[in-house]
């Protein structure tokens, strides 16, 4: 897969995820592109794989390009970045999962950033305001 194909496929995956869920993440894009299998993803989430990049079926240069294109798409479409902690699934200590071999802070942050559509953010704010108003109304009637 060359860089032009990566750009096209990443942008298509981001578009699909945002349209379906209102949110997209690098991990979901990797799954969508077939670079990360569901089995390998689950092995990583359960802590059976030391870091995510180890089980991605593409080289680090291409992974870097994919992450770059995710950010380009997010900027162009005014998606709101939201950092998410990825914690180990299963029994035992809920330790934070690693994405890269180096565990570099910037790389880890980029992988853990989800991008949310403004529509989804506005809906959440509206829902929260409605809930707050309902609570206020209940308190005043008691």
Computed on alpha carbons and rounded to an integer, the radius of gyration of the chain in Å comes to 18
Mean predicted confidence (pLDDT) in 118-142: 71
- Three-state secondary structure string covering 108-133: HHHHCEEEECHHHHHHHHHHHHHHHH
CB atoms within 10 A of CB 65: 18
On average, the pLDDT of the chain sits at 91
The answer to whether 71 touches 32, Cβ cutoff 8 Å, is: no
Ordered by start, the domain boundaries in the chain are 3-117
* Per-residue pLDDT, 136: 74
* Per-residue pLDDT, 112: 97
How far apart (Å, rounded) are the C-alpha atoms in residues 57 and 43? 15
Mean predicted confidence (pLDDT) in 23-52: 97
């Amino acid at each position: 897969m060359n860089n032009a194909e990566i750009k096209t496929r990443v942008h298509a995956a981001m578009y699909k995820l945002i349209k379906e869920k209102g949110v997209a993440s690098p991990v979901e894009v990797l799954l969508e592109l077939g670079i990360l299998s569901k089995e390998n993803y689950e092995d990583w989430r359960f802590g059976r794989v030391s870091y995510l990049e180890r089980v991605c079926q593409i080289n680090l240069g291409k992974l870097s390009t994919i992450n770059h294109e995710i950010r380009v798409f997010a900027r162009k479409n005014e998606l709101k970045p939201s950092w998410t902690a990825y914690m180990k699934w299963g029994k035992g200590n809920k330790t934070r999962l690693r994405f890269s071999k180096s565990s570099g802070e910037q790389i880890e942050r980029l992988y853990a950033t989800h991008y949310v559509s403004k529509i989804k953010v506005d809906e959440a704010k509206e829902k929260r305001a409605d809930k707050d108003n309902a609570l206020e109304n209940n308190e005043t009637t008691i």
